[in-house]
Structure 1
Amino acid sequence: MFLYILGLLLLWFAHRWFKESKRVSNKGDKHVYITGCDTGFGHLLAKHLDALGFRVIAGCYTEKGENELKKASSDRLTTLHLDVSDSVSVGQARALIKTLVGEKGLWAVVNNAGISVPGAPTDWLTVEDYKGLLAVNLVGVIDVTLSVLPLIKKARGRVVNVSSVFGRISLFGGPYGVSKYGVEAFNDSLRLNLAPFGVKVLCIEPGFFRTNVTDPQIIKENGKRLWDRLPQDVKDDYGENYVERALQTLVAKCQLLTDDDLMKVIYCMEHAVTAVHPRTRYSPGWDAKFIWLPLSYMPSFVTDSLVLKFSPKINVSMF
């Protein structure tokens, strides 16, 4: 019985590997639109897909980002200015893309653009802290996608949305997780809506990688800034030296979990764009696979107790 089950598992893995190894043809005729290409994942993906022979359309927020990408890429790659939080900018980009792709349509859009700020207790924040980030990370994803959706449908292409493990489990307060949960919901509904048209919708959910969101200096500066602006009664709720203890714990855990190899994410993005049979979801990072995703499937009382156990303690008598 054991050998029978083992044989079935091996057969299933072999079938899956063979199926996922197939790649699309005619890469030189396929346009891929990537947002957030100034730095990080977007910058690396634009260069990577360009090297593979795709016609990359790279949206950059700054002129510097455009210039640096052009220097590192072939003449197949086109850059354009893009502010995903500005519908006028998104519309202008769409007009240029329509001209570039012509009747073939757009093979893929990769919604990579986003901003990330370290989490903080919710009662440290204001609604303005949420609005700016949601405008980029959630509304921007929706706006960009809707702007090119007719072109994607024409090519029977695909939409690749970059979420996070923190779109599956929420460990911190703040707008980042809220935005990623929103991306997950948009991704899931879009996948179902576009399936009849032959359009694939995929989601990338990275764990901790060495980006701005895990930068120790940024974490410390943001935490101190938020603490300093709090009214005294809120500070009293958390107790003396809370922010120092909390930041020390957060930085230590981020350093322990952070992966330096950004190409793990890029290879997942590449597969989502190039595979004939892409996966519905990708979870790059060992922490995503072995910590955060398993936790996300557990009952809330289990995850709550574990998170609270390893969180900085609030040393106040009223709690």
Structure 2
Amino acid sequence: MNPFSWESRLLPLGVTVMLGAIALYKFKKSQSRTGSSPVVLCHSVLLCLWGIYCFSSFSIFWGWTLFSLACCISLSYSTSQEMLPLDKRAVLITGGDSGIGHALSKYLDELGFTVFVGVLNEKGPGAEALKKTCSKRTSVFQMDITKPAQIREVQARVAEKVQQTGLWAIVNNAGILGSIGDGELLPMEVYRQCMDVNFFGAVEVTKAFMPLLRKSKGRVVNVSSLAGAMPMKFLAAYCASKAALTMFSAVMRMELEKWGIKVVIIHPAGFKTNIFGTKETLGMQEKNILDNISPDVLEAYGQDYIHSSIWPFLQTSEKCTTDFSPIFTDILNGILCKNPSFLYTAGMFSYLCHCLIFYFPVSVFDYASKKMFPTKTLPKALT
């Protein structure tokens, strides 16, 4: 019989189809709990297209070999993406007063997690809303992450509740934007505030709850920002603090591996929260800058330039989406995925910007940045 006859192709073709079907099934099953149907569809289409290309462009031997290899790689990847069972796992979330932290607390509560929520104001509307809408599995605690005493108190109360099972995950979500403006113009107190909340606060929480995470061999999920990887004009303090959190996460990922604890960093972008503030808060930021810069610096920049640097951010925030589902999907992967990725870029804009900053020349990034964040007014001394 001719070794390349149609009959001889049935066995390898059957084996290949079986491998492909198993790979797609495993991948779909692993992604079903996070609702990533577009990812499943894209993965399936790519695998099918690769199979068509292999069998149409190569001999039966090489076509079978290459496609089978792709199926094995896909199967290995899908296995690593399998989700762990919920099993009443306990999660601590910081910054639950509003925005992402508030919505995430409700989301995880609905999924069946035991949720501990740290809020800046236990009597505030955000905390009260969580108490009313969430189940009894969710507990709300007063925890200003810039105050170590409050962190220690919450740690003791959480330890009492989880006892020997330990805490499965902490989600360091609390963060502030600080003030908007050129780095030279921002008062040093703004840099310190951003570092206190966005970096030192997350470090303090992580260190305090680490004994509970060692018991469960759980997860640390740090919600950083696209600004933690991509420089953004007028956000020097915020970018620096988020970059510090990103690098801290990278180091902790390596150091905590021996304890069986996995560390995940989330870089969201393009989501509408109250982090940009309101007209009143932006007005206060502008006044704070004007009150703290020297006369010669004010003369160089001019009040018009300072004003024009701050206020466009309010318009930018209005264009952002209120759909937090991409962030929730990535955080849930970080919490429950058997082998989570270290970095998740929540939102298509974040992914594209990461590609731009890491894979293109600086000149290309600078050009794109000027287009994305145009400056219509120059400092007074340059006009």
TM-score range, shorter chain: 0.7 to 0.9
- Between the two proteins, the alignment pairs up a number of residues equal to 317
Change (3 A) 1:62 1:306: same
Residue 236 (structure 1) aligned with residue 299 (structure 2): yes
Change (3 A) 1:103 1:227: closer
Could you tell me the percent identity over the aligned residues?
27
Deviation at 1:307, TM superposition (A): 3.3
Of 196-205 and 285-294, the range deviating more from structure 2: 285-294
Task: Report 1:164-175 matches (<5 A).
Answer: 164-172=225-233, 173-175=235-237
Deviation at 1:40, TM superposition (A): 1.1
Aligned twin of 1:40 = 99
Structure 2 unaligned regions, length at least 5: 1-49, 55-62
Residue 3 (structure 1) aligned with residue 3 (structure 2): no
CA distance in 1, matches of 2:380, 2:131: 55
Higher relative CO (CA 8 A, sep ≥ 6), structure 1 or 2?
1
RMSD of equivalent CA atoms: 2.9
Aligned twin of 1:161 = 222
CA distance in 1, matches of 2:325, 2:261: 26
Aligned twin of 2:15 = none
Aligned twin of 1:97 = 158
Aligned twin of 1:141 = 202
Deviation at 1:215, TM superposition (A): 5.1
Task: Report 1:213-232 matches (<5 A).
Answer: 213-214=275-276, 217=279, 220-221=282-283, 224-229=286-291, 230-232=293-295
Structure 1 unaligned regions, length at least 5: none
Task: Report 1:1-319 matches (<5 A).
Answer: 3-4=53-54, 11=71, 14-15=74-75, 18-19=78-79, 22-28=82-88, 30-63=89-122, 64=124, 65-172=126-233, 173-214=235-276, 217=279, 220-221=282-283, 224-229=286-291, 230-239=293-302, 241-247=304-310, 249-256=312-319, 258-308=320-370, 310-314=374-378, 316=380
What code does the residue aligned with 2:378 have? I
Structure 1 residue ranges, 4+ long, deviating more than 6 angstroms after superposition: none
**Whose radius of gyration is greater, 1 or 2?**
2
Deviation at 1:186, TM superposition (A): 0.6
Equivalent pair of 2:180/2:310 in contact (CA under 8 Å):
no
Deviation at 1:142, TM superposition (A): 0.3
Instruction: State the TM-score, normalized to the length of structure 2.
Output: 0.74
CA distance in 2, matches of 1:308, 1:26: 45
Deviation at 1:240, TM superposition (A): 6.3
Which digits, 9 at most, give the CA deviation of each residue in 1:172-224, with x for residues without a partner? 24311111001011100000001122111001100121112345636842553
Deviation at 1:259, TM superposition (A): 2.1
SS in 2 for 1:161: strand
